[in-house]
């Protein structure tokens, strides 16, 4: 099997040998992925000059209906996608569901947003700015679809959700997209796009796919284009410094490394519901997607008197985690996505252990429930304790992308907030407490350093969606080292692909524009 790219309205094979697609459970080669010989300028031009105009000829409601149809196609093929995720990503059933169902759910949310906007093609913000004393001259702000293409460069850990959460917003905004999935797990992205293409849902040029190395795509970006990237901060820095990105100055949105934190309130003692809720959430951080979530918990801050209790509760949970082949019954922790990621995680773990003690795990598991220990990419669920977080550096700065978390003590509310901020900017933090004053105080303190703050008390114990789960209704992204980007957030997500323009004129003109638009704040 050699994955093809979909560019210029047709499937094209790369002319090179390509990169192997691997099964991370046993090291078997599944196929190759290669984009050698594909014309990046033609690919982006097709999205820009063919796909964009076709989408902008449709209303928001019509574009939303396209997203609804895509979701239906993906739902019909869900079982096949789950098997691909197991083979190529080492996903358990739970892991695959988060990725695949997350993609389908996000498409459905944006389909509903399109329907709610109605049969119009522009958005006008509510309100009126009076610019004259007699009220005869004023201003309003409208949002219209930008005329460039969207280039999406995605990460390996979410080949389904990462693809469609970007595509959904771009298509609804009226912008043609070129998606480049990470090569290591491109099989799932490829199969999903192939199924959608075969269903004949989208107009020509609305969606293209490049499977393989795509560095030359950056050379093809133009001033009204959009570059959305999810991945490492190192790659993000190279993208920002690329000569053509600097020269053409397309819009850029980055989601990068994030050393996310969770904070346990002083009231959450052993035996309380919120104590148990934190332990459950931290346990998920060590098993779901093998810890390979950009929003995953990496640091757990607990009141100093509760350090031993949290440590012991998590250690007991880890002892129950079965590591191995996701095809085996009872396995909840599969491998990392490939040997490269395994080596990176083990290297990062070695740095963390300079500042923290290993309580459980710490390397490759001694025993597996299926899978190949030598050829697979397994890392044991690892619990670390750092007694002096104020003196640590790597703990706060290094994201080990795997099933690894560190528990640390804090003395007072201000200390917890300051330690969380040491991450340098993160996608998400969570707070587990029934103490309303503590929760509100910490949330206000850490908000400038985080894109999202989840507060869990007993009342939302069963309803909350989880520390790591990104909901399309909420903004996703983070300041500082997390990339300074923002996507999703319901209608807010469209702002990246639309132009906000101040229109000045008489009330008659402004009211005519308002009659042609959906009202909303983007």
Count of Cβ atoms closer than 10 Å to residue 247 Cβ = 9
Residue 6 phi, psi dihedral angles, 5° rounding: -110, 100
C-alpha 216/C-alpha 230 separation (Å) is 18
Q: What token pair was written down for 287?
A: 């098993």
Residue 474 phi, psi dihedral angles, 5° rounding: -110, 150
Active site residue 255: yes
DSSP notation for 160-176: THHHHHHHHHHHHHT--
Question: Exposure string (b/e) for 326-351, b if CB count within 10 Å is 16 or more?
Answer: bbeeebbbbbbbbeebbebbbebbee
In this structure, is the dihedral angle defined by the CA atoms of residues 378, 380, 381 and 383, taken in order, positive or negative? negative
C-alpha 504/C-alpha 91 separation (Å) is 54
Cα–Cα nearest to 285, from 262, 316, 302, 308: 262
Residue located via tokens 């819009």: 251
CA dihedral 136, 142, 147, 153 (to 10 degrees): 150
Point out the catalytic residue in the list 4, 294, 355, 487.
294
Q: Residue 298, class by beta-carbon neighbours within 10 Å (0-12 exposed, 13-18 middle, 19+ buried)?
A: buried
Residues 6 or more apart whose CB falls under 8 angstroms from that of 156 comprise 89, 182, 183, 184, 185, 337, 341
C-alpha 192/C-alpha 80 separation (Å) is 10
C-alpha 331/C-alpha 56 separation (Å) is 47
C-alpha 284/C-alpha 299 separation (Å) is 14
CA distances from 281 to 188, 235, 275, 510 (A): 27, 30, 10, 50
C-alpha 214/C-alpha 322 separation (Å) is 37
Q: What token pair was written down for 61?
A: 């409601």
Active site residue 474: no
C-alpha 59/C-alpha 172 separation (Å) is 9
C-alpha 243/C-alpha 263 separation (Å) is 42
Point out the catalytic residue in the list 4, 165, 255, 281.
255
C-alpha 430/C-alpha 502 separation (Å) is 38
Length of the chain: 522
Cα–Cα nearest to 178, from 15, 63, 52, 72: 52
Catalytic residues: 255, 294
């Amino acid at each position: 099997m050699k994955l093809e790219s979909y560019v210029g309205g047709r499937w094209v094979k790369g002319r090179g040998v390509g990169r192997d697609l691997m099964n991370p459970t046993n090291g078997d080669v599944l196929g190759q992925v290669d984009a050698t010989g594909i014309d990046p300028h033609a690919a982006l031009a097709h999205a820009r000059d063919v796909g964009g105009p076709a989408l902008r000829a449709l209303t928001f409601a019509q574009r939303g209906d396209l997203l609804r149809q895509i979701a239906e196609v993906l739902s019909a093929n869900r079982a096949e996608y789950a098997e691909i995720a197991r083979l190529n990503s080492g996903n358990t059933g739970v892991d695959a569901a988060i990725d695949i169902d997350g993609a389908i759910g996000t498409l459905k949310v944006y389909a509903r947003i399109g329907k709610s906007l109605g049969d119009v093609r522009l958005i006008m913000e509510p309100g009126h700015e009076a610019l004259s004393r007699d009220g005869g001259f004023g201003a309003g702000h409208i949002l219209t679809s930008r005329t460039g293409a969207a280039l999406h460069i995605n990460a390996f850990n979410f080949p389904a959700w990462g693809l469609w959460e970007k595509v959904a917003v771009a298509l609804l905004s009226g912008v043609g997209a070129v998606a480049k999935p990470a090569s290591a797990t491109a099989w799932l992205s490829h199969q999903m796009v192939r199924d959608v293409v075969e269903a004949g849902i989208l107009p020509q040029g609305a969606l293209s796919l490049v499977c393989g190395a795509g560095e030359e795509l950056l050379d093809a970006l133009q001033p009204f284009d959009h570059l959305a990237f999810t991945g490492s901060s190192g790659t993000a820095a190279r993208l920002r410094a690329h000569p053509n990105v600097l020269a053409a100055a397309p819009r850029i949105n980055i989601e990068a490394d994030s050393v996310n934190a969770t904070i346990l309130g002083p009231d959450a003692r052993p035996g309380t519901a919120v104590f148990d809720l934190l332990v459950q959430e931290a346990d998920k951080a060590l098993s779901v997607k093998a810890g390979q979530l950009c929003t995953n918990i990496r640091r757990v801050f607990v009141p100093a008197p509760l350090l031993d209790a949290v440590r012991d509760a998590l250690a007991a949970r880890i002892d129950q985690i079965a590591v191995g082949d996701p095809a085996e019954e009872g396995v909840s922790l599969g491998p990392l996505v490939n040997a490269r990621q395994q080596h990176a995680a083990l290297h990062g773990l070695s740095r963390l252990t300079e500042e923290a003690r290993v309580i459980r795990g710490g390397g490759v598991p001694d025993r597996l429930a299926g899978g190949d220990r030598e050829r697979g990419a397994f890392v044991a669920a690892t619990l670390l304790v750092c007694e002096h977080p104020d003196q640590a550096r790597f703990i706060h700065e290094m994201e080990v992308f795997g099933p690894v978390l560190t528990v640390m003590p804090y003395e007072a509310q201000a200390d917890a907030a300051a330690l969380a901020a040491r991450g340098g900017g993160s996608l998400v933090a969570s707070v587990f407490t029934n103490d309303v004053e503590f929760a509100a105080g910490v949330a206000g303190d850490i908000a400038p350093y985080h894109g999202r703050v989840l507060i869990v008390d007993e009342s939302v114990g069963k309803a909350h969606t989880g520390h790591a789960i990104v909901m399309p209704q909420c903004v996703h992204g983070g300041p500082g080292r997390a990339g300074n980007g923002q996507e999703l957030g319901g209608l807010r997500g469209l702002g990246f692909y639309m132009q906000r323009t101040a229109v000045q004129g008489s009330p008659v003109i402004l009211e005519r524009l308002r009659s042609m638009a959906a009202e909303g704040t983007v």
